[in-house]
Structure 1
Amino acid sequence: MNIQIFGTTKCFDTKKAQRFFKERGIRFQMIDLKEKEMSRGEFENVSRALGGWQALVNPNAKDKQTLALLDALVDWQKEDKLFENQQLFRTPIVRNGRQATVGYQPDVWKNWE
């Protein structure tokens, strides 16, 4: 397994995801989205694995203005605006090769090989 966890150090669910993999002895790479943003390729791969970029949007994000702007844009602009404003991501985003989840999903992770 090649696990990557995208999140922030203050996110409770990100901490739970890290603990899940540590307890099982599974190595992972933690990427703090406040320090290093997701690359365009990573963003596209994760979006594809989730069935679309819409799954990445956190409706409870603190940046209400940008969230409202995202809603107001036409569809073809929304994906780029979300990529530019990664503080709107729901975390943790856990990636294992071509598979990905968003949020705390231990039931899905147990089935990964």
Structure 2
Amino acid sequence: MNIQIFGTKKCADTRKAERYFKERNVKYQLIDMKEKGMSKGEYNSVKQAAGGLGAMLDEGCKDKDALALIKYIAEEDRDEKVLEHQGVLKTPIVRNGKQATVGYQPDVWKTWN
């Protein structure tokens, strides 16, 4: 397994995801989205695995203006805006190769080999 956890240090679910993998002795890489964020390729891979952008947006995010803008601009411009404002994404985003989850989903992680 090649686990990547995208999240922030302040996010409780990100910390729970870290603990989940740590307790099972699974190596993971934590990427702090406030410092680095996702590349376009990582974002597209997660978006495909998660079932689209709608499943990735955090309705409760702090950046309400960016969220509203992303929802109402032309579809072809949305991905660029999301990459500029990654704070609108639910965390943690956990990747294992082509597989990915958005939010805390230990039931799905159990099935990963």
- Band the TM-score falls in, shorter-chain normalisation: over 0.9
Identify the residue that residue 101 of structure 2 maps to in structure 1. 101
Q: TM-score, normalised by structure 1?
A: 0.96
Which range moves more in the overlay, 51-60 or 92-101?
51-60
Partner of 1:84: 84
Alignment of 1:35-46 (within 5 A): 35-46=35-46
The CA deviation at 1:81 is 1.1
Q: Distance in 2 between matches of 1:79 and 1:46?
A: 12
2:33 aligned with 1:33, yes or no?
Answer: yes
Amino acid at match of 2:53: W
Partner SS for 1:66: helix
Query: 1:1-113, aligned counterparts within 5 Å?
Result: 1-113=1-113
Tell me which amino acid in the other structure corresponds to 2:97.
Answer: G
Q: Which runs of 5+ in 1 are unaligned?
A: none
Look up the SS of the partner of 2:87 in the other structure.
helix
Identity %: 56
The answer to which of 10-19 and 56-65 deviates more is 56-65
Task: Give the TM-score, by structure 2 length.
Answer: 0.96
**Root-mean-square deviation (Å):** 0.9
